[in-house]
């Protein structure tokens, strides 16, 4: 490449910014291509390897759209795309949209689980999406083609597909009510449900995303988030196209190997103002920095205006640790921007107004568990993070089991309603009916998010997932409380612990805790197990089953979150084998 080709796309240009005020995503791509902005891809050390303007992306997408049509892909056909962070995926996603097909982003293989598990996971998602074609990078051809062959769909490396003829043809016209893409929710590996998102829903959420972040002149994004997850795909790719924002990317595996490369790239990029991460991303960075490090000599985080946080339960202690670690590098606590959302609402439902930072309320354990206060024990509290206000045109209600709307500070199910709510789960009317309830005014549907929370003065506070709740003797316990308790012990990191309920031989339920163990001595393992059990008992008042498992055993979702449901399933099936302990004679 020439030096000119390696000049990053600019933050701003003469073309007036439009905050995603389009009828379809096709129109958004067309408008972005008139700007000089685009996507910039970097290697593991943050060196720019490809500057990809939106105009070049559109040109490639139109050629690929003609190839898709030439290959027999028609309107509403699904095209599965392995979501590698790079220009090929960006062009192919847009090509599917131009061709009227539905792109289906699917995950890359991870370092966990091995080749066979990845083929199994991919095959199950292909079976659900029923695509006509799977396109993938050549380096995973063996695994991807095996999964495609198992499901009887065509598979081809995108490098080969790009060599096909691109015959002239008419592209179909898109309607706002057309499905734009299918998004597989992060936990969907065994029984996947594809979220069908219309152009109208997508455009609405992208407009709200820009409005809530007060996206303006000279804003620029840095991201390492994977493009097969809604936070990475919608928040850090589609939103940037629809709102004409330049971005700089590291691949997710680059971040996994060198987390501080994310902050290095932010520091070197003089125009960077927005970047997003789940809690664990901030946690990893704070842990990698020694208290003796002179962070101000390496990093400059002073321009970081919006440090978005979402995709899992937001932990104020982790956020404070990040502030403590990087304040000397110019990071400001008020840059934190908590949010709440899910793929079933495209991406975001609520966002904290920029500049308000992390705000918490201390909530008594009894309010979270729904039981009367035990006056014989001291009161215990948990810090619940404020997840912000509903997006424009989005309504959020907290409902009890009877369906009635609850008042401020009363915990219940989180429901939302608005233009961003999904169309349906693809070919799954039963699952759709379980979570979508038609609105009484006939305008759209209310979405049961499956999460628990409460409202206070127009702000949403999320306390946990309803399906993850552990109910012992009629009392509700959040698995996060048990996991956080174990994390207070030395040597444990966020994500090392999975808590869930299991049925004992006597038919009663008990909490089980799986914990990554890095201790090899059997006697030390026994002491560690007992220490963990004592810690959980001191915090929750419950006795629990503690199982020590090898490091890197606990499964994660595509976004990097702990998957408690899968951990439970693997444990009960015997696929997760606890380490042997040397019991005292």
3 state SS of 577: coil
d(C-alpha 96, C-alpha 84), whole Å: 16
Is the pLDDT confidence value at 131 over 70?
yes
| Beta-carbon-side half-sphere exposure of residue 423 (alpha carbons within 13 Å) | 19
Q: Is the pLDDT of residue 286 over 60?
A: yes
- For the chain, helix, strand, coil in percent to 5 are 35, 25, 40
b/e for 531-568, b at 16 or more Cβ within 10 A? Answer: ebbebbeebbebebebbbbeeebbbbbbbbbbbbbbbb
Record the pTM: 0.84
pLDDT given at position 118: 85
In a 13 Å sphere around the CA of 13, the CA atoms on its Cβ side amount to 17
Best CA proximity match to 205, nearest among 339, 358, 61? 339
The region that residue 298 occupies, defined by phi over 0 for left and psi between -120 and 50 for alpha, beta otherwise, is alpha
Whole-number pLDDT of residue 187: 42
- In the three-class reduction of DSSP (H, G, I as helix; E, B as strand; rest coil), residue 353 is classed as coil
Q: Which of 41-45, 160-164, 412-416, 475-479 has the lowest mean pLDDT?
A: 475-479
Which pLDDT belongs to residue 584? 43
Residue 378 has a pLDDT of: 75
Rounded to the nearest 5°, which phi and psi values hold at 189? -115, -35
- 412 burial (CB, 10 Å; 0-12 / 13-18 / 19+) is buried
- Structure token pair of residue 352: 């904290």
Phi, psi of 249 (to 5 degrees): -120, 140
**What's the CA gap between 62 and 132, in Å, rounded?**
19
* Token pair 């399933």: residue: 569
User: So what's the pLDDT on residue 405?
Assistant: 96
Taking only the tens place, the pLDDT of each residue in 433-446 is: 999 999 887 788 99
The secondary structure of residue 189, as a DSSP letter, is: S
Say yes or no to pLDDT of 419 above 50: yes
Residue 293 has pLDDT above 80, yes or no: no
Taking a C-beta distance cutoff of 8 angstroms, is the pair 474, 488 a contact? Answer: no
Across residues 290-318, what is the average pLDDT?
Answer: 87
Tokens describing residue 124:
């199950």
Instruction: Read off the pLDDT band of 543 (50, 70, 90).
Output: confident
Please report, rounded to a whole number, the percentage of residues in the chain having pLDDT higher than 70.
93
Q: Could you give all domains of the chain from N- to C-terminal order, each with its CATH number?
A: 4-176 (3.40.50.12780), 278-465 (3.40.50.12780), 470-573 (3.30.300.30)
Angle at 449 between CA 443 and CA 455, to 5 degrees: 90
Across the chain, what does the average pLDDT equal? 90
> Of 104-118, 222-236, 393-407, 545-559, where does mean pLDDT reach its minimum?
104-118
Token readout for 423 is: 């169309």
How many CB atoms are closer than 10 A to CB 95? Answer: 30
Q: What is the pLDDT of residues 31-45, one digit of tens each?
A: 999 999 999 999 999
Amino acid 559: pLDDT: 63
Give start and end residues of each alpha helix (H) in 77-164. 87-99, 114-129, 141-151, 158-161
Alpha-carbon distance of 236 to 226, in angstroms, equals 9
| Model confidence pLDDT, tens digit, residues 6-25 | 899 999 999 999 999 999 99
């Amino acid at each position: 490449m020439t030096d000119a080709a390696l000049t990053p796309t600019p933050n701003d240009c003469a073309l007036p910014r439009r905050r995603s005020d389009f009828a379809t995503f096709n129109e958004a791509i067309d408008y972005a291509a008139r700007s000089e902005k685009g996507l910039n891809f970097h290697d593991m050390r943050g060196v720019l390897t490809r500057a990809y303007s939106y105009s070049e992306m559109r040109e490639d997408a139109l050629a690929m759209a003609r190839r898709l049509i030439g290959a027999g892909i028609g309107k509403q056909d699904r095209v599965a795309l392995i979501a590698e962070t790079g220009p090929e995926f960006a062009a192919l996603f847009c090509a599917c949209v131009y061709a009227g097909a539905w792109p289906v982003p699917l995950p890359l293989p991870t370092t966990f689980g091995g080749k066979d598990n990845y083929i199994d996971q991919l095959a199950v998602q292909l079976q659900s999406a029923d695509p006509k074609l799977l396109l993938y990078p050549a380096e995973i051809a063996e695994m991807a083609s095996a999964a495609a062959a198992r499901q009887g769909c065509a598979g081809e490396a995108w490098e080969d597909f790009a060599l096909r003829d691109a015959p002239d043809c008419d592209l179909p016209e898109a309607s706002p009510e057309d499905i734009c893409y299918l998004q597989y929710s992060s936990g969907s590996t065994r029984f996947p449900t594809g979220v069908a998102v219309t152009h109208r829903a997508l455009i609405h959420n992208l407009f709200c995303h820009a409005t809530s972040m007060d996206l303006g002149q000279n804003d620029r994004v840095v991201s390492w988030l994977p493009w097969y997850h809604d936070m990475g795909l919608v928040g850090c790719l589609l939103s940037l196209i629809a709102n004409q924002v330049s971005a700089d990317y590291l691949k997710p595996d680059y971040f996994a190997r060198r987390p501080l490369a994310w902050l290095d790239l932010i520091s070197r990029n003089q125009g960077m103002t927005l970047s997003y991460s789940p809690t664990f991303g901030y946690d990893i960075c704070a842990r990698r920095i020694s208290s003796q490090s002179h962070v101000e000599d390496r990093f400059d985080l002073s321009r970081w205006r919006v440090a978005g946080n979402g995709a899992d339960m937001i932990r104020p202690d982790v956020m404070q640790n990040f502030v403590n670690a990087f304040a000397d590098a110019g990071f400001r606590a008020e840059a934190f921007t908590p949010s709440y959302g899910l793929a079933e609402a495209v991406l975001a439902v609520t966002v904290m107004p920029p500049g308000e930072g992390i705000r918490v309320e201390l909530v008594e354990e009894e309010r979270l568990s729904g039981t009367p206060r035990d006056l014989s024990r001291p009161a215990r509290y948990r810090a619940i993070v404020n997840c912000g206000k509903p997006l424009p045109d989005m309504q959020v209600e907290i409902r009890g089991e009877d369906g009635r709307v609850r008042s401020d500070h009363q915990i219940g199910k989180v429901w939302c309603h608005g233009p961003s709510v999904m169309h349906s789960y693809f070919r799954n009317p039963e699952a759709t009916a379980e979570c979508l309830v038609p609105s009484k005014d006939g305008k759209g549907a209310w979405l049961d998010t499956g999460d628990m929370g409460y409202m206070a003065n127009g702000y949403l506070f999320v306390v946990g997932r309803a399906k993850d709740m552990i109910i012992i003797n009629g009392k509700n316990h959040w698995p996060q409380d048990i996991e956080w308790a174990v994390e207070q012990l030395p040597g444990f990191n966020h994500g090392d612990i999975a808590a869930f309920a299991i049925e004992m031989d006597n038919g009663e339920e008990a909490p089980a805790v799986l914990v990554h163990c890095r201790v090899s001595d059997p006697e030390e393992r026994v002491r560690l197990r007992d220490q963990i059990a004592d810690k959980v008992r001191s915090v929750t008042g419950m006795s629990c089953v503690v199982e020590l498992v090898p490091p890197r055993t606990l499964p994660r979702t595509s976004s990097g979150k702990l998957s408690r449901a899968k951990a439970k399933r693997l444990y009960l099936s015997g696929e997760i084998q606890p380490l042997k302990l040397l019991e005292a004679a």
